[in-house]
Amino acid sequence: NAPLLVAPSILSADFARLGEEVAAIDAAGADWIHLDVMDGHFVPNISFGPAVIKALRSHSRLPFDVHLMIEPCDPYLQAFAEAGADHIVIHIEGGPHVHRSLQTIRALGKKAGVAICPATPASALSEILDLVDIVLVMTVNPGFGGQKFLQSQFGKIREILSMIEKSGRAIRIGVDGGVDRDTAPMAIEAGADFLVAGSAVYGQDDYAAAISALRSASQG
């Protein structure tokens, strides 16, 4: 089993000091930096785009895990790649040609990820699993930080894990939304091997303690 990774989401950081906030979670032991891009169309909130990601790139060497909650995504994939994204995660619900978008991400030389909303069944992933390196199971309806973890998604995490195992490919499976020290152990138990957490890291005074509390959830 792959070691558990923790990917703090800067959505809950202090936006007036984003560069420092990225450097701070790097120093605090984060594995990836999760960047939530929202367009006010696919989700009911607007966050930031490639220019902000580009400006943050020099503040950490950690992989930038860019979660695109935008529709369409195709016109912007190259801009996010050039801004410094290492992983580009798109939504399975984000349009009729997700297969093509994933091919584009790979052609740009980036790791390709697919995120899946609470209302979408695991089976929606069956025809694109061979094109992805990362599956991100949303445990809230995307759009905002600080929402409550949807325990109804556990069965889907298990189902996706078994699809991944059958594929024989090294695909990472993560959870995003409402992850904290109480819900992390259950998500890991269901099969998650990385955790995205916004408020459970940036909402705390001690980022290193917050990250290690999430990490230790995998030790039961």
Residues that are catalytic: 36, 176
Q: Is 31 annotated as a binding residue?
A: no
Q: Is 109 annotated as a binding residue?
A: no
The residue with its CB nearest to ligand DX5 is 198
Q: Is 9 annotated as a binding residue?
A: yes
Minimal distance in Å, beta carbon 107 to ligand DX5? 25
Give phi and psi for 158, each to the nearest 5. -60, -45
Minimal distance in Å, beta carbon 217 to ligand DX5? 14
Q: String of b and e for 82-120 (b: at least 16 CB within 10 Å)?
A: ebbbebbbbbbbbeeebeebbebbeeeebbbbbbbbeeb
Minimal distance in Å, beta carbon 36 to ligand DX5? 5
Decide if 10 contacts 33 (C-beta within 8 A): yes
67 binding Zn ion? (CB under 5 A): yes
Decide if 86 contacts 93 (C-beta within 8 A): no
The residue with its CB nearest to Zn ion is 67
What distances in angstroms separate CA 191 from CA 12, 42, 140, one per listed residue? 25, 27, 17
Binding site for ligand DX5 (CB under 6 A): 9, 11-12, 34, 36, 67, 140, 142-143, 145-147, 176-179, 196-200
65 binding Zn ion? (CB under 5 A): no
- Other Cβ atoms within 10 Å of 131 Cβ, number: 17
Which residues line the annotated binding site? 9, 34, 36, 67, 143-146, 176-178, 198-199
Q: Which residues bind to Zn ion, rule: CB under 5 A? A: 36, 67, 176
